[in-house]
Amino acid sequence: MRSIAFASLVAASAFGVGAITWSATPFTPAAVPLAVRSPYLSAWLPQGAGNALNDIWPQFWTGNSILGWAGFAKVDGSAYVWMGSPSVPNTTFSKATQKSLKWTSTQSIFVMTAGPVDLTITFLSPVEPNDFVNQSLPLSYYSISAASNDGKSHEVQVYVDISGEWVTGTSNPLINWSTTGSTGVITHQVQIANPIAFSEVNDRIQDGAVYHSTLNVTGTTYQTGQDIVVRALFINNGILANTQDTNFRPTSTNWPIFAFAHDFGAVTDSPATPVVYSVGHSRKNAVQYIILNNGRQVQSSYFWTRFSTMADAISSFLGDYNNAVTRANQFDNAVSNDANRVSSDYASLVALSVRQTFGAIEITVPQHSDGSFDTSNVLTFMKQMRDASVNTVDVIYPSWPLFLYTNATIGKSLIMPLLQYQTSGQYPNRWCVHDMGSNYPNATGHNDGLDTKMPIEESGNMVIMALSYAQRTDDLSWLKTYFAILDQWTQFLIADSLIPQNQLSTDVFAGPLANQTNLAIKGIVGIQAMAEIARATGDTGRYTNYSTLAASYVKQWQQFATSSTGSHLTLSYGDNDSWGMTYNLYADKLLGTNASESPLDPIHILLMLSLYSDWSIWTAATTTRSDVRDQIISAVVKYAADGKNSLPLSDWYDTIAGTQADPSSNYARPVVGGHLALLALQGVQNISSPDGSGSGNPTTSSGSPKPTSGSVHRWQYTATAVSSAFFIAAFTVGFVDYLL
Ligand SMILES: *[C@@H]1O[C@H](CO)[C@@H](O)[C@H](O)[C@H]1NC(C)=O
Ligand SMILES: *[C@@H]1O[C@H](CO)[C@@H](O)[C@H](O)[C@H]1NC(C)=O
Ligand SMILES: *[C@@H]1O[C@H](CO)[C@@H](O)[C@H](O)[C@H]1NC(C)=O
Ligand SMILES: *[C@@H]1O[C@H](CO)[C@@H](O)[C@H](O)[C@H]1NC(C)=O
Ligand SMILES: *[C@@H]1O[C@H](CO)[C@@H](O)[C@H](O)[C@H]1NC(C)=O
Ligand SMILES: *[C@@H]1O[C@H](CO)[C@@H](O)[C@H](O)[C@H]1NC(C)=O
Ligand SMILES: *[C@@H]1O[C@H](CO)[C@@H](O)[C@H](O)[C@H]1NC(C)=O
Ligand SMILES: *[C@@H]1O[C@H](CO)[C@@H](O)[C@H](O)[C@H]1NC(C)=O
Ligand SMILES: *[C@@H]1O[C@H](CO)[C@@H](O)[C@H](O)[C@H]1NC(C)=O
Ligand SMILES: *[C@@H]1O[C@H](CO)[C@@H](O)[C@H](O)[C@H]1NC(C)=O
Ligand SMILES: *[C@@H]1O[C@H](CO)[C@@H](O)[C@H](O)[C@H]1NC(C)=O
């Protein structure tokens, strides 16, 4: 197996990233996030070996659905296309040349050369987890600035449009639209004429509207109409007609588009004030949520607590652009500084993961009967992506580090629906449910108890997340409220985790399996976590019982889980030749529960033919060997940057080919938030101590927790001689490509 792998790796490494002609900083990802803020506002530029902003059309996250989004410019009367792939009969224009792409946690910035002028297009999807209004607003900015590149002054006009494809992924439904304006803002609003609440077709919500807006500054014109007509008008005249096409029709019938133009006037080599646009997708009723007696409660996006109309929200959003850029730069720098303490590869992987994770969630509140919002019950919903499951416990769990690092309260609001639902008594099983529903945005539970059965996985995950949230916030009251259900799941862990029955874990590739090593330690850490919860809430009897039990389980687990040679942890007990990836030990480190002092052996991931990127980083976070940690991270980055994929980052990849392991699954998922595992190992409070002493929770300027120095070195790495020998051997034979 190993030598076959080696041969393939040599062959695979012959293919590098294609010949891109621009600089890509930090690297060319599989897809560049353009406007990524919710499961329904998710526009990406597929890359593969590299695509310029004007080589192809942007795509919805699914990768099989174009989002028409075109950009032209006129420079001294000559027209250039700088975004999208439009063809406009009977017109003449050239293609701008991409000079650079740079991306951060919140921004993707392109410089496109249009003859003697450079256009800088900044796509900013804000990440503001400390303000739920801002974070839940499903709007994304893009701005254009222009500067001369030859020292001379040039007349510049720019043009942008979006198509009806932003509201529907199929060409059949009738759509309608309107343009409204004021002195402040002009907005094109587009929607399906016959909406269906809470319903999806091809992952597109059949409800709500798309908003394309700009500040109504001097030099702004707009138009709605057929694509080739409106684009031709700009290409010929550099200005639009300020008219509306009211012949409502499906998206692909004479392609209606929603356009703006802006006249910069004379542009010199100091960049002109950027022209700012926003694009968004919003609906009033976001999620349908199960309450007592199989009732349904409508959850609205949190931002409606501050704004009563989208016009107000858009006006506030566009008006705040300069401040939003300042805040975004602060956030990006704080994340980058924190992650660069590990490595620059780590900083780029983290930056690539942030928007993808936040783009899969919606922060919501219920409405009182009088129409006001109940801000005391913030519930966040997550779409698994590439599977419409709602708040899947083993998808929230891997993404958890991002929430701990940015704002643990969002984490709480993600697990709260699961706690409320199961406390309502409607879910019949004694273990924790797998998810809140199979069809986002219907969080309608599984009252039949027939959800995917991952009993230890999900029960352990919930107790671990509950404790880790409390450790970072000192917020204990809700642990008392949900103590009974957490304890019920712990009873299950006590009965079943040391010798786990045949069952699925999140490692679904392994299929159902008995005695899974990694699953057992998750359950045992879960028992210890419940012991800590008991202690923090004053139940010292239970603390003593559970921690004693967990300690005795750990001793037995170490014997069961180690291969006969003592060289590694197995995938399942007694399967001496198997290798398990015990990323669940990360939870023990995260919680500081010290349930296990087993010799950890991340080196075994060397042998796996496909890897989960999130679990790789969790494993990296459990070693104190910084060389091992850095090698694991660099292997993941090598895959993420290898030019062989074009969908939003897949968390599951083939370690030989460097491609996503399954072309139809595991991409665009929020679990990449797990890449922040090393950043989340900070700020743990001792919730049992009256003064909450612990490593504390100092914050950076972004409000994100600051690493305590040496936190990644907290545990002793004690690899056995055998695995160390293998480790060295692996390096010397050059077993390196996507593995190490
Ligand atoms: C382009 O020009 C040709 C020749 O004048 C004309 O037949 C055709 O209709 C034009 N197409 C469009 C889309 O204007
Ligand atoms: C998290 O967000 C909530 C709600 O906006 C806010 O009250 C809280 O201060 C934030 N927490 C941190 C650590 O910034
Ligand atoms: C949220 O956005 C508003 C502008 O709408 C801004 O004033 C405020 O500072 C933002 N809050 C945070 C925490 O970034
Ligand atoms: C834009 O502002 C100008 C000047 O105040 C106003 O005359 C015009 O009607 C506005 N445009 C729209 C579409 O409202
Ligand atoms: C467009 O359709 C929506 C949903 O049916 C409807 O509420 C709205 O009035 C329509 N708008 C126009 C301009 O026809
Ligand atoms: C959600 O439930 C409603 C019925 O309440 C149904 O019409 C809709 O199709 C469901 N959504 C999905 C995505 O299945
Ligand atoms: C699971 O492991 C235990 C302890 O080694 C063993 O007694 C039991 O037979 C194993 N179960 C299965 C199904 O292999
Ligand atoms: C702890 O374990 C003992 C012995 O099994 C039992 O009698 C006692 O009730 C347990 N206490 C708690 C709080 O579970
Ligand atoms: C694994 O090794 C142990 C110790 O040598 C042995 O008792 C056990 O039977 C082996 N298990 C398998 C499945 O071969
Ligand atoms: C776990 O181990 C660390 C390092 O040895 C120690 O500082 C910490 O107090 C221990 N935690 C518990 C709960 O025993
Ligand atoms: C936490 O605080 C409690 C009570 O002061 C103390 O007994 C315990 O040892 C502390 N744990 C750690 C890990 O410091």
- Rounded to whole angstroms, the Cα distance separating 4 from 2 reads 5
Q: Is the CB of 630 under 6 A from ligand 9?
A: no
Ligand nearest to the CA of 496: 7
Mean pLDDT over all residues of the chain?
Answer: 87
195 ligand 10 Cβ < 6 A: no
In a domain, 392, yes or no: no
Q: How far is the CA of 266 from the centre of ligand 4 (A)?
A: 22
CA of 89 to the centre of ligand 1 (A): 7
- pTM, two decimals, is 0.90
36 contact partners, CB below 8 Å, separation of at least 6: 42, 43, 44, 61, 125, 140, 355, 356, 358, 359
Residues making up the chain, counted from first to last: 740
For 518-570, what is each residue's pLDDT tens digit?
889 889 999 999 999 999 999 999 999 999 999 899 889 888 888 777 767 77
Report the CATH number at residue 276.
Answer: 2.70.98
Q: What distances in angstroms separate CA 93 from CA 72, 185, 267, 547, 636, one per listed residue? A: 9, 30, 20, 72, 41
Question: Cα 300–166–106 angle (5° rounding)?
Answer: 70
Instruction: Give me 450's structure tokens.
Output: 């027939």
| pLDDT tens by residue, 603-647 | 444 445 567 888 888 888 877 778 888 888 999 999 999 999 999
pLDDT digits (tens, 9 = 90+) for 709-718: 222 212 112 2
15 occurs within a structural domain: no
Q: State which of 314, 338, 362 marks the end of a domain.
A: 314
Question: Is position 411 within any domain?
Answer: no
Three-state DSSP class for 33? strand
Among the residue ranges 333-347, 385-399, 668-682, 721-735, the one predicted with the least confidence is: 721-735
Residue 403 to residue 356: CA distance in whole angstroms: 13
Q: Whose CA is nearest to atom 8 of ligand 6?
A: 199
Q: Which helix (H) or strand (E) holds 455?
A: helix 455-473
Structural domain containing residue 148: 23-314
How close is the Cα of 25 to the center of ligand 8, in Å?
58
Residue at 631 is within a domain: no
Torsion-angle region of 226 (φ positive above 0: left; ψ -120 to 50: alpha; else: beta) = beta
Mutate which of 174, 177, 191 to test ligand 5's pocket (most atoms within 8 Å of Cβ)?
191
Dihedral (Cα; 396, 398, 401, 402), 10-degree rounding: -60
- Identify the domain boundary among 574, 600, 626: 600
Of ligand 10's listed atoms, the one at least distance from the Cα of 594 is: 1
CA dist., res. 690 & res. 330, Å (int): 34
Q: Specify whether the CB–CB gap between 300 and 285 falls below 8 A.
A: yes
Residue 344 within a domain: no
- Ligand 4 mean position to 314 CA, how many Å? 16
**Ligand located closest to 285 CA:** 6
Q: 600, 628, 656: which is the final residue of a domain?
A: 600
Cα–ligand 5 centroid distance for 225 (angstroms) = 17
Compute, in angstroms, the gap from residue 56 CA to the centroid of ligand 7.
Answer: 55
Dist. CA 406 → ligand 10 center (Å): 24
Classify residue 576: in a domain, yes or no: yes
The answer to whether the CB of 557 is under 6 A from ligand 7 is no
**Percentage, residues of the chain above pLDDT 90:** 71
pLDDT at 450: 97
Q: Whose CA is nearest to atom 13 of ligand 7?
A: 514
Whether residue 712 lies inside any domain: the answer is: no
Looking at the chain, the whole-number percentage of residues with pLDDT higher than 70 is: 86
Q: Is 228 in the pocket of ligand 1 (CB under 6 A)?
A: yes
Q: Within a domain: residue 415?
A: no
Query: Region 486-493: what's the mean pLDDT?
Result: 96
> Which residues form ligand 8's pocket by a CB distance below 6 Å?
541-542, 545
Is residue 696's pLDDT more than 60? no
How many domains in the chain?
Answer: 2
